[in-house]
Amino acid sequence: MRTGVRPFILVMALVLGCNGSRDQLLADLQSPRPEVRALAVKKLAGQGNADDLVLFTRAAKDLAAIVRAEAAVALGESQDPRVVDLLGELLEDPVEDVQARAAMALAKVQNDKAKAYLTLQYGRRSRATRQVIVQALKSANVNGAMAEVVAAEAKAQWDRNLLALTEGELPERVGAAEELGKSGRPDAVTRLMPLVRDSQVILAAAAVRGLGDAGDKRAVGEIALLLNESFPELRESAIIALTKLQDPAVAPRLQAVAMEKSAVSPLAIDAILAFPRTPQTDAALCAVMMDGAPAEALAAGRAMRSRGGCPVDPIGERLARPATAASGLQAVVGLGPTAQPLLGKVTPWLNQPDASLRLLAVEAVEAMGDASVVPALQKLYEQEAKGLEAMRADWVTQPLPERYGPGFDPASEASPVKSLTQQAGGEDKVAKHAQLLERVKALNAARAREAGRAVVQPRVPTELHDDVDPERLRPLATLLRALGTLKAPGALELLKGYTQDASAPLRVAALTGLARLGPEGVELAKAGLLEPERDVQKAVAQVLAEAGDAGQAALVEMMPKMGSEKLLALDALTRGSGVPVSASAALQAVVSEGGAEAALAASLLGRMGAKDAVPTLIKALDESNSVARRDVLLALGAIGDAQAAEAVARDLYHDLPEVRAAAASALRKIGTPAQAESLDALKGDYFRTVRESAGAALTKDGTAAEGAR
């Protein structure tokens, strides 16, 4: 009898224990703590009780994301078709983890409705969820899962944009025209071509921009005709589109726009510079150099300087006549050393009474870099300095005070200002205000010291008023810069004396001249990067970037001290000829800080091929909202290290097309066969740039390219 009682008691204990445990879980669903409710949902799901489906449905509406995530898993485990709509709602949850759980749960239901939810939401979700959706479809045995959802997304985008173009209001039609062009489909070109002559200029301009993005050169002729239009917006859009279409045959038309000295002339010269080099583009640049506005002429001349120069005989003919000498000198400034045969025709203009021609001549001999003209420039400097001596003399001989005199400090007890304040009943306001300002200054200084930045103090004026207009100082500034560029004897000491001048143009000239005097001059010039005036900082940064290894090393050295102005240094290095190897650590620090500066820093690291920066760049991809994401991906591609392949490949799922295109381009250079399926799927992407980048990353047989070794 005892042997029969024991099993009965054991069974009853287990039943009561289980019931007790379940009762506790049901009670935990009402707990105020989200983690307790989530754990209760998870344990109840593990029991597999079909009656608990209503509990999971209620938990899917919980305010806590952790509970909704567990509810999604539990609903999926039930494999009940009735939960598909609820899981579809959870797939739109604001929290990505809930979206991911819902996607995997839908895959377990395995019916057409669940698959439709997954396919639809792929085009609406961010990178992490898009990747999980593809994994979910694969787990549901969907062949070509990524290719299918990419194609569905492309179709939805095309249908939406086409509907907006044909039936939408004007703003919707404008946006749709540009988006249709980005698809690069022949049908898009066919639909946009008639719109370039639309009576609504804003729509016509959008259609032109769309045709530029489409990349179909059939549109070049029609777009080029718009350069004769009178609407600035339409002409600007036409130039932008022609720049993207890269057809050198339109160079003569763009040349005419570049020479008309209008608001769109700078865009026209940029377009010609972006074209592949041909005799047509060279001829257009030479023509603009001769007759364009100063800014466009200088850009064209510098471009031709790197291409070997322009014919010098026409320039010499202009230098021979006073009426045309200005355009000839302007051309020499652009061509620089390639115009050396014209030195004999330029130097006579250094002694002309016309101040504007004399200034152009100084700039011309400086650009040619011939030191034989130094004596003439020194003489001109002496004349110019003497002529300004009386005008620049201090009419207040004593230095201006930098502190309040006795009894005039608003914060002091004896101040008349404070006495008036006390009479008004606010005796402590001035003192408190001064103390607050001092505390703010002290805190800012402490933060700057901790970050290794220099505290830039505002320049205290030495005069109440300057009698000399800045434009009147331009000849002197040009001469100072020229003496430094040509390494004139005594230039170092001369320019050093102007680095603290009250006039910003003269300081800029002195600092830029010093930067061209070798390492010793660079050491003095780099202090200009901490000037309070942004224009001075920008000019010094640019000249240091062009001053070879010493100047570039100085830029990198000063970057941490520049605070938010380090963007100027990075931009100068980007435009310059090179980056020192020692810059890697400083650039990695900028990438780690994030922000707009990180994009330029990443680009420079890629240009350097800095393999030591790969871990830093990979870590930067963890920042989901980084504005530098595209640049980081391209930098990793340029470096070509295979260890970055997995991190880069995740961005093939990114919701931004420019990021997907950058990831595909990077993988083409890195090379990894593991990503061939994803790259092949992107060949069906809506955006032309993504399709082309993905196709270029694959070899002819459909496998990923080997990339750099």
DSSP state of 48: T
Cβ–Cβ under 8 Å, residues 252 and 279: no
Write down the pLDDT at residue 12: 36
Mean pLDDT across the chain: 88
Binned at pLDDT 50, 70 and 90, residue 468 comes out as confident
Write down the pLDDT at residue 15: 39
Write down the pLDDT at residue 524: 93
If you average pLDDT over residues 76-91, what whole number do you get? 93
- For 468, phi then psi, to 5°, come to -105, 125
Q: Is the pLDDT of residue 1 over 50?
A: no
If you average pLDDT over residues 84-106, what whole number do you get? 95
DSSP state of 427: T
Out of 70-74, 81-85, 196-200, 465-469, least confident range: 465-469
Distance of CA 330 to the CA centre of its chain: 33
Element (H, E) at 463: none
If you average pLDDT over residues 63-91, what whole number do you get? 94
How far apart (Å, rounded) are the C-alpha atoms in residues 155 and 146? 14
Write down the pLDDT at residue 397: 63
Q: Is the pLDDT of residue 465 over 50?
A: no
Q: Which domains does the chain have, with CATH numbers?
A: 2-142 (1.25.10.10), 146-245 (1.25.10.10), 490-562 (1.25.10)
CA dihedral sign of residues 181, 187, 189, 194: negative
Write down the pLDDT at residue 445: 63
Specify the 3-state DSSP secondary structure of 230.
Answer: coil
pLDDT tens per residue across span 417-449: 555 445 444 556 656 666 676 677 677 666 655
Tokens, residue 625: 């909202």
* Residue of 246, 290, 291, 295 lying closest to 272 (CA atoms): 246
Binned at pLDDT 50, 70 and 90, residue 13 comes out as very low
Task: Match 């510098």 to its residue by tokens.
Answer: 302
Q: Is the pLDDT of residue 370 over 50?
A: yes
* Residue of 156, 221, 158 lying closest to 184 (CA atoms): 158
Q: Is the pLDDT of residue 409 over 90?
A: no
If you average pLDDT over residues 475-489, what whole number do you get? 95
- For 704, phi then psi, to 5°, come to -65, 145
If you average pLDDT over residues 532-557, what whole number do you get? 91
Write down the pLDDT at residue 510: 95
For residue 422, what are the contacts with CB-CB under 8 A and spacing of at least 6?
none
pLDDT tens per residue across span 611-652: 999 999 999 999 888 899 999 999 999 999 999 999 999 999
pLDDT tens per residue across span 139-171: 999 999 999 999 999 999 999 999 999 999 999
How far apart (Å, rounded) are the C-alpha atoms in residues 74 and 97? 15
Tokens, residue 6: 């024991």
Task: Match 């045309």 to its residue by tokens.
Answer: 324
How far apart (Å, rounded) are the C-alpha atoms in residues 513 and 39? 71
Identify which has the larger pLDDT, 4 or 672: 672
Write down the pLDDT at residue 456: 56
* Residue of 512, 504, 511 lying closest to 366 (CA atoms): 512
How far apart (Å, rounded) are the C-alpha atoms in residues 140 and 136? 6
Which residues, in sequence order, are bridge partners of residue 704? 698
pLDDT tens per residue across span 445-463: 666 556 555 555 565 555 5
How far apart (Å, rounded) are the C-alpha atoms in residues 12 and 90? 41
Write down the pLDDT at residue 274: 94
Binned at pLDDT 50, 70 and 90, residue 672 comes out as confident
Identify which has the larger pLDDT, 433 or 255: 255
Binned at pLDDT 50, 70 and 90, residue 582 comes out as confident
pLDDT tens per residue across span 287-336: 999 999 999 999 999 999 989 999 999 999 999 999 999 999 999 999 99
CA dihedral sign of residues 491, 497, 502, 508: positive
Binned at pLDDT 50, 70 and 90, residue 264 comes out as very high
* Amino acid residing at 94: P
Binned at pLDDT 50, 70 and 90, residue 700 comes out as very low
Write down the pLDDT at residue 106: 95
Identify which has the larger pLDDT, 481 or 9: 481
If you average pLDDT over residues 204-212, what whole number do you get? 97
Tokens, residue 496: 């050093």
Identify which has the larger pLDDT, 242 or 463: 242
* Residue of 304, 307, 312 lying closest to 288 (CA atoms): 304
pTM: 0.83
Q: Is 389 exposed, middle or buried (0-12, 13-18, 19+ CB in 10 A)?
A: exposed
Specify the 3-state DSSP secondary structure of 704.
Answer: strand
Identify which has the larger pLDDT, 563 or 534: 534
Binned at pLDDT 50, 70 and 90, residue 375 comes out as very high
If you average pLDDT over residues 379-400, what whole number do you get? 78
How far apart (Å, rounded) are the C-alpha atoms in residues 493 and 513? 11
